[in-house]
Structures are given as structure tokens and as C-alpha cells.
Amino acid sequence: MHLSRRDGALDLLKWLALLSMLLDHLRYVGISADWLYVPGRLAFPWFCLAMAANLARDGARKTEWRYLGWLLLFSAVSEIPYRLYIPEPDTLNVMPTLALGLLVARGWQDPALISRLLAISALLMAALFPERLMFGLFGVLLPLAMLLVFRRPWYFSLLPGLLCLAANQWRVLFESAQFGNLVAILGIATCLMAPLLGMFLLRHARHLQPPPMRRWAYALYPVHFLLLVAIRTACL
């Protein structure tokens, strides 16, 4: 990937992850649409898979610190829009989880002392304060799990699917599923299958060329919260 031309499948994965995130967040705009929880379960694992794809490509070491810098910057920029839109959030926005996940995955990949120390620090932070991180400790571990199975046969993708389910309050989902809640049942299935579906897309959609998603796309995260706040205000 990323050797002679831009990987269209990876750009498509990012766009679809962004779309699923938007669908998930529409649940808070004031309409009754709990079913949007199901496609929303694709967003986080697909962003983690995109991160793993970037780390797995040649030349990743040249961009990793810049990648981390953008994540940290928009972690701070996005927090106010996130809290304006999500009612009484229990956690920080998703970008701190992705930033810690990047450090853990890179620490596994790079034997340099600084990378290993940062990875250990990220793991300790996630273990000590999981309640403050969206998707908790399991979410921080998910980019590493994606990286470990990235070039393996398709059935290995079921392993990060289990981790994805654990990151999504699996106990609540299972309790609801036991009472026949269709959204919970489909949510469990989506969590388990999301890494596999994303890996299938990356391997079989390379001929597609959607608009490239470059660094400006980081701004879409806080901006989409502001747009949804405006929509909710207009609908009141």
C-alpha cells in the first residue's frame, strides 16, 4: 500500500468510518433513531484499522510523530464542541483514545527506548483512568490488535472483533440482547464483524479512487459536532 499511488481503499475506509460516526451521533440530535447505534459501531474500529494501515506501510516512521501531534491538537480542539453536543458526557472525546492507541501500537512496532516508554505510559494511563476514555483500555489496545492481524489471513480479524465488543460496553449489550433487543443483537454482531469487514474492503477495493482524505479531515471531527448543535438548535 501507498507505494506508487494513493490507496483508494484506505481513503474509502476513512470516509465510511466518518459516515458511520455521523450516523451514530445523529441519535443525539433530538430524533428517535436508536437503530443508528448499529452502523455507528463501525466508526471506531475502522478508524483504528486506518491507523494500523498507516503504521504498517513503508515509511511510517517518518510521519508517526506528526500523526500523534495532529491527534493531540484536535483532542483539545474537539473537546468543547463534543461537550456542547453530547448530553452530560462520561468520557473525553474519542481522539485521546486514538492518540494513546497510536503510542501503544507504535511502541510494539518500534524497539526504540522512547517509543517503548511512551507505549508503557499510554497503557498505564489507560489502565488507571479507563472511565475517562471513550472505549476505555480495550479501545486503546484496538489499534495494536488491528496492526497485529493486518497482513494475516482474514479469520484473524475476528480477534480484534472481540476486543471491539469489549470496548463497547459488552455487558450492557448482552443484557439487552438476552431480552430480545434487536438493536443490541445487531450491535454485538457489528462489533464482532467490523474489523473483518474493514479488512475485506482494504484488500478488495483498491481499484476505487474516492476523494483523498488528507490532514484537513481532522477538522471534520469538531466541525461536525458544531453543525449537529446548530441542527438541534434549529429543530427546537
Q: What sign results for the dihedral spanned by CA atoms 69, 72, 127, 51?
A: negative
User: For position 1, what pLDDT does the model report?
Assistant: 38
Asked if the model's pLDDT at residue 120 lies above 70, the reply is yes
pLDDT higher than 80, residue 62: no
> The C-alpha cell of 63 is what?
510521519
Model confidence at 160: pLDDT above 80:
yes
Residue range 136-154: average pLDDT? 95
Domain edges within the chain: 8-89+153-235
**Residue in this structure with the C-alpha cell 497503557, named with its chain if needed:** 123
Residue type at position 47: F
Q: Phi and psi for 33 in degrees, rounded to 5? A: -150, 60
Query: 231: Cβ–Cβ under 8 A, 6 or more apart, which residues?
Result: 29
* The three-state (H, E, C) secondary structure of 96-159, written as one string: HHHHHHHHHHHHHHCCCHHHHHHHHHHHHHHHHCHHHCCCHHHHHHHHHHHHHHCCCCHHHHHH
Report pLDDT digits (tens) over 215-226.
899 999 999 999
Average pLDDT of 187-213?
94
140/119 Cα distance (integer angstroms): 10
Judge whether residue 32 has pLDDT over 50: yes
Q: What pLDDT score was predicted for residue 3?
A: 40
Q: Which of 52, 90, 72 is nearest to 218 (CA)?
A: 72
Compute CA distances 168 → 29, 55, 175, 187, 209, whole Å. Answer: 21, 24, 13, 9, 32
Residue 69 and residue 133: Cα distance in Å, rounded?
18
The radius of gyration of the chain's CA atoms, rounded to the nearest angstrom, is 17
